[in-house]
Structure 1
């Protein structure tokens, strides 16, 4: 791979609508992004979604990452066309590992059917307060590190067995955050020792089984004491020194969405793109301002060659593990959907299973994205 030609491979970008216009297709063919992330705005029907993904793959010279947030509960993009799986908290509180294993298997199966190859899960954050307004409500597998390790580990192994790559998020941990990074930059003041006894334990346990890690937009004062309000996703001390050196992770690292308030309010677009790769991330994620992706690629040209080379190598290495989609079949979709509904009933009970998550963005913009 020659880095000057392939910088598009370091972009993970959103897509405008439910189908590719000729103009969008031409832009993407020229840019050759490394991957695409889909949201509710891209999902209209089962057939439409599979066609959109097939079209994205067809215009890519290198097999792209096709990813989505399919966690369960309110962060389940596919519930727009199918059943809503139970969320991590419901599965955690039920306390039955067999249900979590089923959730991982069904998640893998439904994603493969549509042509996804990477799921932005499992969430490895710890819940200190299930009602906290920090974007994590309902999304956490544990109230302590060991509970997260046990539950998220079961989900992760089960989903990966179906041929879908996983992503542990949000490194090094949003659990202590007191605000929602979609809107503001959280500042977390835990010491190194406190982090190693809590937030970092799920990563130290599960990193060998994760295909990728998503770095988060919180400021950790212990790791960047001299940088002021500096997000972890842009921090060399956190991504390279902590994740890559101390925890020996040589897999794929990606930023959380660089269109979030925690980034937009603190740094310029050029800083966000360049410092993310300098920090040790391999993919920069631009979910919503997709008109900025060409500019993002230009900004990547300002990053030093060694950092670009390392990122491109890790992208290439991870892509060798991508599995091609299953053949699409509506009957198969209906069967998986029935199994997801049954899982929901078995987890929540018949009555509670009828009450679906309300997607209004009042909890967090993560619902509407």
Structure 2
């Protein structure tokens, strides 16, 4: 066979086999990226097995917690630390802490009652009052291990009797410029504590006569153009965290779909017209405005194609199995059949990662390559969580020099336990007593440890709970 014929033959073989290898590798990467677009909630004060697998195996991007997940400050800190420990990729951990009647932290679970947005923005209308409360709540979230607050509300109080907004006093004011000012103060205090904020509910829920939790919500005849003012002003001032399009139908903006499922609203208006460069998240997809009017698959597909980066569900299971896995599979299948363009996944994945990097949820320690030989086995650490000390167990395939370093969640070195010390073949045990390099006790929280030998390294997570 001539050289030319041989090359043609090899080229044909490559054409036949490459799609198989490409599909195998690509599908794994694609599902991991899609999973970062999925948030779910769960019931109770402990993680159930489904959520553990959603975090550790399915790589979901975040979780949302509600009042039923919170019993006291110590419990919620431990729960959030456990979430971080199980997560394959450092997750968003979110809560709705607007203040007043929509506040997951209050006097019933070890915190304090807070003013409503209406009291702060209309009754007091004081920068100092709004800043003081925002700072207080931001401290709570920081101390308890949250990194996202799905607040503040940017809705204008057009209708004081609007069931989901006005009646609950969730809007700062009927004056759109006052809403902007108090939102800005709120955001500043949370960003000072490295907490991500989320404006809601674009393009404005304040005039609605219905509650989108309970059904179809049409604002076509009540919505006012000035309800866009808080969003436009904040975006003009470089706001680029998260914005939540509401399940709000407005025929003036889209004659077919509600904002959360509308490309005209979420992409054309919010991104292309207003210039928003951050992350968009749907309101809860199990709310009746969506679940009663769209099928499971159609709702998800429309939400992604509209330009939403995160698909939010507040439950864990659907028909007895992982809801997150089903959402991931719907999006994955729709990408494969061309219904959802691949570029939509890439856009959302990149925005999510950029936001996680901006707020140091993903840090340098997460990006270190993990080159691990097959026989270099980590058996985790025990106990985990631990109080005074924990034992890290690993197996070496041969006698070699090993380093063991403890890091905090920001990737900062806390303790160097071993520095290139020779260890024997087989099982080895290293004890960490919760002290740093200055032999001072470290605080409660999630820590990472790195066991390395040459170019090979293993990583693990552990919780110190005092």
TM-score, normalising length from structure 2?
A: 0.66
Match of 1:91 in 2: 120
Unaligned runs of at least 5 residues, structure 1: 330-369
Secondary structure at the residue paired with 2:182? helix
- Partners of 1:3 and 1:312 within 8 A in 2: no
Aligned with residue 281 of structure 2, among 245, 251, 254: 254
Answer whether contact 1:117 1:323 (CA < 8 A) is retained. no
- CA gap of 1:72–1:157, structure 2 versus 1, over 3 A, is same
Is the aligned partner of 1:117 residue 2:147?
yes
Query: Matches of 1:114 and 1:148 in 2, distance apart?
Result: 28
Q: Distance in 2 between matches of 1:130 and 1:320?
A: 39
Select the structure that is richer in strand: 2
1:55 match: 82
Higher alpha-carbon Rg: 2
Does residue 1:157 correspond to 2:182, yes or no? no
* Residue 113 of structure 1: how far off its partner (Å): 0.3
Alpha-carbon separation, structure 2, partners of 1:167 and 1:90 = 20
The 3-state SS of whatever aligns with 2:46 is coil
The residue that corresponds to 1:360 in the other structure is: none
Q: Distance in 1 between matches of 2:443 and 2:288?
A: 37
Counterparts of residues 233-252 of structure 1 (less than 5 Å): 233-252=260-279
Q: Which blocks of at least 5 consecutive residues in structure 2 are unaligned? A: 1-25, 335-339, 362-408, 411-441, 445-466
**Equivalent residue number for residue 354 of structure 2:** 317
What's the TM-score once normalised by structure 1's chain length? Answer: 0.83
Cα deviations by residue, 1:100-135 (Å, 9 ceiling, x for unpaired): 011121121110000101101110001123233234
Instruction: Judge conservation of contact 2:54–2:60 (CA < 8 Å) in 1.
Output: no
SS of 2:57 mapped into structure 1: helix
> More helix by proportion, 1 or 2?
1
- Higher normalized contact order (CA 8 Å, seq sep 6+, divided by chain length): 1
SS of structure 2 residue aligned to 1:104: helix
SS in structure 2 opposite 1:169? Answer: strand
1:21 deviation in Å? 3.2
| Contact 1:166/1:210 (<8 A) preserved | no
Question: Partner of 1:103: helix, strand, or coil?
Answer: helix
Q: Residue 281 of structure 1: SS of its match in structure 2?
A: coil
Distance 1:300 1:248 in 2: 26
> After the TM superposition, which residues 2-151 of structure 1 pair with which residues of structure 2 at under 5 Å, given as runs?
2-79=29-106, 80-81=108-109, 82-92=111-121, 93-136=123-166, 137-151=168-182
